[in-house]
Structure formats: structure tokens, C-alpha cells
Amino acid sequence: MTDISGLLFFLRDPCLFIDRKKGRDTLTDMVKVFIIGAGDGGEAVLSRLLQFNWFEIVGVADLNPDAPAIHLARAANVPVFLEDPLCLLQKMSIDLVFDLTRNPVIGHQLIQISENNFDVATGEVAHVLWDMIRELEDREARIKQRLGENQVLLEVSMILSRSETPDEIFQAIVAGAMRITGMPAGSLSVYNKHNHELFLVATKGLSSDFYKNGAYPVRPGGLTEHILSNKDPILIPDLADFPAFDNPVILKEGIRSLIALPLISDKGPIGILYNDDFQPRRFQPTLTESLKMLSTQAVIAIQKQQAFEQIKDLSIRDPLTGLYNRRYLNKVLASEMGRAQRLNRALSLVLFDIDKFKRINDTYGHAMGDQVLQALAECFELIIRPYDVLSRFGGEEFLILMSETDEAKAISSAERLRTAAAALDLLPDGDRVTCSFGVCTLERIEKKTITPKEFIQCADHALYRAKNGGRNRVCIYEN
């Protein structure tokens, strides 16, 4: 067997083949290979070499015309030689000969004629070369996989940069993860550290029942807490190997394999990105790094959106109570009035203030007054409906916009708020805080056209009646 160091160098770096036989370095695109012995071994070698564009098979030789590699060579348009090839080899330009005959005589002759002409691979050398070829195949596959993943990451990054709403961002993150992993389903949950809960914000490829589980607690010592406390993705190829994993929602969906990607910022966890498949999977080695990069992109996108929402929220919220401010209320009121008038829907306003609030400030101080405002705001938010708009309208005045609400329902709501306020223990000496309420519905107003300002003035007239009537009561607007 001759020296094959040039080939070994080539296999490590296919872009450069060192032709040591000729005593110089030669750049070449192809390695010219001749195969002697077309049995099962020859067929295996040939089938492998045909997969590479940097091997040129210049011939396959065997005395048996029905040898497996002879048929494969003819199908691949590779030259076939049904004769003793030793004489041919001395005339051909060849870099490497595979001797797969296991014939010591042929092996000895090849070594004699190969000097300064070509390398010979036989026996254990062939196995070494195959190991290197397999390694190159794996490396090429990993490179292709990584390039594909990086392309997806770039596209996801561009989509996230163009997304304007939380829903667009959440959906882009889920879709991007599914493309990288090749898995048919996914979901994203955002973590609320104050309540220790995860809120499902986006799903794809899962049933509508899955979305019904919109919020779920993070139990100490549970799987979710374990995921959030890790920085690395958790990959489960087959849930059947984990009998202790008995999440009924996951099992009902028929999920068999999953990836849980914790989204961690410098301030702590902000969510979990899941990818799911309905059958067991094998995960590529490059996947973990790509998922980490996606995690970074997702965290940045979510944080930017949260920061934007906070800034937007500051512009429409009262800084003391956290309720909507007057500017936001005026904007929503105009829209709701137009809708109610256009569709002939009920619309009500409840305007109320704290009775003798100046005396509270004068007696207990403005800090106590602020605490009263905050406590009432928190209490009222728990009582009103989620789609009612509660705003701080003035110093101690509040206004509630109640869509799809007639006069009777508005009065009932106001009474609940009045009773709740009087029941609160807010002042040091046990003195009670009461509120007066004015209720006005759009249908009560006789004018055919009315502005938002006039609508509020009507509610203010009703509140004035409650004040003059002795306070701590609910009055309706009367024309």
C-alpha cells in the first residue's frame, strides 16, 4: 500500500488536494478514483462515492459482469472494465485506487505499479477512509442544517422588527420556532411574576381546547418551574420515556415529543416557548444553539413590546390610581357614542366623587387622601365588568363608561359601588368614606345629537342632585 497522506489531507479539507506524488501542491476540484472489485464491498464504496461531487469515478473493474457494482456503475454512467485493470492503471490519470478484491496477489501488484502514480486504499485503510467520509457527510449535513436555521433566524428577526402589535410578535416567535425545529405545533406563554402564573398568548397547530387553558400557575418544584429556572432548552424526544409526565392537557393533544425553550431576560424569566410533535423525534445537534439564538431574539422583541406598552400605558393612565385618565376617556367616549347611536345600542355614564374629600385631606393629610383614592380605585376595578372603562376624571371624581348598559343596570352597578365604598375601613378613627353617584344614559337625553362633553354634563347634573340630596346616594339624570 502506498502513502495516502495526500488523500487524508484532502478529506480533512476537500477544497485543497496536496499531490505529494508529484512533489508539488496542486489545487484540484476532483479526486479521480478507480475501484477494483465490484462485489458487495465495491457496491458500497461506489454508492458512497457517487454522493460526493468532489470524487470522479474513472472506472470500476471486475471479471464478473453481473457483480453488483458493475450494474450500479452502468446505471451511473461510470466506465466499466471486465478485464485485468492493472495494465490500464499504468496509462490512466488516477489519484486513488480502492482494492476491494481481498486478493493478496493483486494487492502486491498494485503496490508495485502505484509508485509515483496513485495511492491505494485496501483493508483497514478503506475503513479509516470510510470513517472520515462519514464524518465529512455528517459535518456537511450539520453545516447545511445550521445554514438553514440561520436563514430562518434572519427571517424571524426581520419579521419581528416589522411587527407592531403583541399578537404579531407572539405569532412570529411561535412560527419561527416551528420552522427551525420542523415541528408541527407550538405555543408561547408569558410569565407574570407577581401572580406566579403563565398566560398563553399564542398557539399554532393545536386544538381550540388547548387555548381554553389560558392561565396556569407555576407550582414550586413542578416541571414549569424547572423549565423557567434553566437557561438551556429542554428537549424530550419521547414523552413515553417519562411516565411521571402526566399533564392532562398535553396528553389530550396527543403530543409525543416537545421542546421547552425558557425565555430569560437579565431581570428573570419572561415566558416559555414550546414546540410540539405528535410522534417521537430525534433532534439535530445544531438545534440547541439555534434555539438559544431564537430565545435571545424573542426576549428582545417581547421586552421592546412590553416597554412600548408601558410607555403607551403611561400616556393614558393616572399615575396615582393606575386608572385611565381623562384624555383616554374622552377618546373612547366619542367612539362608543358613535357606535351606540349608529347601532341604536344602550350606553351609560356613571359619574361619582368622594364625599367631603377636602375634609379627609385637611384632617388626615394629603398622603391619607392619596391612599383613599388608591383603595377606592382598586376596589371599584374588582366590581365593574372587564369591558367597562373606569377613569379618574378629576381630583376626587371618577367616571365609568358602560357600553351595552341600560339605565336599570347602570343604577344597579352604581349602588354596588356605593355600598362597597361605605363598607371599606380606610380612615384611622373608623370614620367611613362615602361616595355620591350620578347616572345618565344616552336614551334619557332628548336631543337627537349630543357631544361627549354634553353627555358628561348630563351625568354631572345627576351627581349634583345626589350631592344636594344628602350625599352617599345614586341619582339619575332628569331632563
pLDDT digits (tens, 9 = 90+) for 412-421: 999 999 999 9
Sign of CA dihedral 284, 151, 186, 234: positive
CATH of the domain at 198: 3.30.450.40
Q: Which of 291-300, 338-347, 368-377 has the highest mean pLDDT?
A: 368-377
pTM comes to 0.45
The more confident residue out of 272 and 112 is 272
Range of lowest pLDDT (28-32, 101-105, 142-146, 197-201): 142-146
Residue 443 included in any domain? yes
Residue type, 337: M
pLDDT above 50: residue 9: no
The more confident residue out of 27 and 335 is 335
| Predicted confidence band of residue 61 (pLDDT cuts 50, 70, 90) | very high
Residue with cell 368622594: 354
pLDDT computed for residue 359 by the predictor: 92
pLDDT computed for residue 10 by the predictor: 44
Residue 128 included in any domain? no
The answer to whether residues 299 and 396 belong to one domain is no
CATH of the domain at 60: 3.40.50.720
The answer to whether residues 335 and 468 belong to one domain is yes
Residue 417 included in any domain? yes
pLDDT above 50: residue 6: no
pLDDT computed for residue 26 by the predictor: 43
Residue 193 included in any domain? yes
Please give the average per-residue pLDDT across 164-186, as a whole number: 84
Residue 332 included in any domain? yes
Please spell the DSSP secondary structure of 111-141, one letter per residue. HHHHTTT-EEEETHHHHHHHHHHHHHHHHHH
- Would you tell me how many other CB atoms lie within 10 Å of the CB of residue 85? 21
Please give the average per-residue pLDDT across 87-92, as a whole number: 81
The answer to whether residues 288 and 225 belong to one domain is yes
Please give the average per-residue pLDDT across 117-123, as a whole number: 75
Range of lowest pLDDT (211-215, 376-380, 431-435, 453-457): 211-215
* 396 in catalytic set: yes
pLDDT computed for residue 405 by the predictor: 92
- For 54, the domain range is 5-122
Percent of the chain with pLDDT over 90: 33
pLDDT above 80: residue 188: yes
Please give the average per-residue pLDDT across 419-433, as a whole number: 90
CATH of the domain at 415: 3.30.70.270
pLDDT computed for residue 21 by the predictor: 45
- Would you tell me how many other CB atoms lie within 10 Å of the CB of residue 339? 13
Range of lowest pLDDT (97-101, 278-282, 348-352, 377-381): 97-101
Single residue among 313, 344, 375 that ends a domain in this structure? 313
The answer to whether residues 182 and 87 belong to one domain is no
The answer to whether residues 304 and 189 belong to one domain is yes
| Predicted confidence band of residue 202 (pLDDT cuts 50, 70, 90) | confident
The more confident residue out of 412 and 28 is 412
pLDDT computed for residue 123 by the predictor: 55
- Find residue 56's DSSP bridge partners: 32
pLDDT computed for residue 421 by the predictor: 94
Range of lowest pLDDT (86-95, 181-190, 229-238, 312-321): 312-321
Question: At 306, is the secondary structure helix, strand, or coil?
Answer: helix
The answer to whether residues 239 and 375 belong to one domain is no
The answer to whether residues 166 and 307 belong to one domain is yes
The answer to whether residues 174 and 289 belong to one domain is yes
Mean pLDDT of the chain: 82
The answer to whether residues 386 and 467 belong to one domain is yes
| Predicted confidence band of residue 249 (pLDDT cuts 50, 70, 90) | confident
C-alpha cell at 21: 506524488
Please give the average per-residue pLDDT across 314-342, as a whole number: 86
What pLDDT, in 10s, does the model give residues 255-267? 999 998 998 888 8
Please give the average per-residue pLDDT across 80-88, as a whole number: 85
Please give the average per-residue pLDDT across 464-474, as a whole number: 94
The answer to whether residues 110 and 180 belong to one domain is no
Number of domains in the chain: 3
pLDDT above 80: residue 357: yes
Q: At what angle do helices 287-316 and 124-162 cross, to 10 degrees?
A: 10
C-alpha cell at 148: 438553514
Per annotation, catalytic residue among 155, 381, 396, 415? 396
- State the Cα–Cα distance between residues 254 and 262, nearest whole angstrom: 22
Range of lowest pLDDT (157-166, 264-273, 386-395, 421-430): 157-166
Single residue among 267, 288, 313 that ends a domain in this structure? 313
Residue 318 included in any domain? no
The more confident residue out of 252 and 71 is 71
- State the Cα–Cα distance between residues 305 and 316, nearest whole angstrom: 17
The answer to whether residues 291 and 414 belong to one domain is no
Residue 144 included in any domain? no
pLDDT above 90: residue 193: no
Q: Strand locations in 282-434, DSSP E?
A: 347-354, 389-392, 397-403
| Predicted confidence band of residue 11 (pLDDT cuts 50, 70, 90) | very low
Single residue among 122, 140, 172 that ends a domain in this structure? 122
Range of lowest pLDDT (111-115, 365-369, 399-403): 111-115
The answer to whether residues 233 and 191 belong to one domain is yes
Residue 146 included in any domain? no
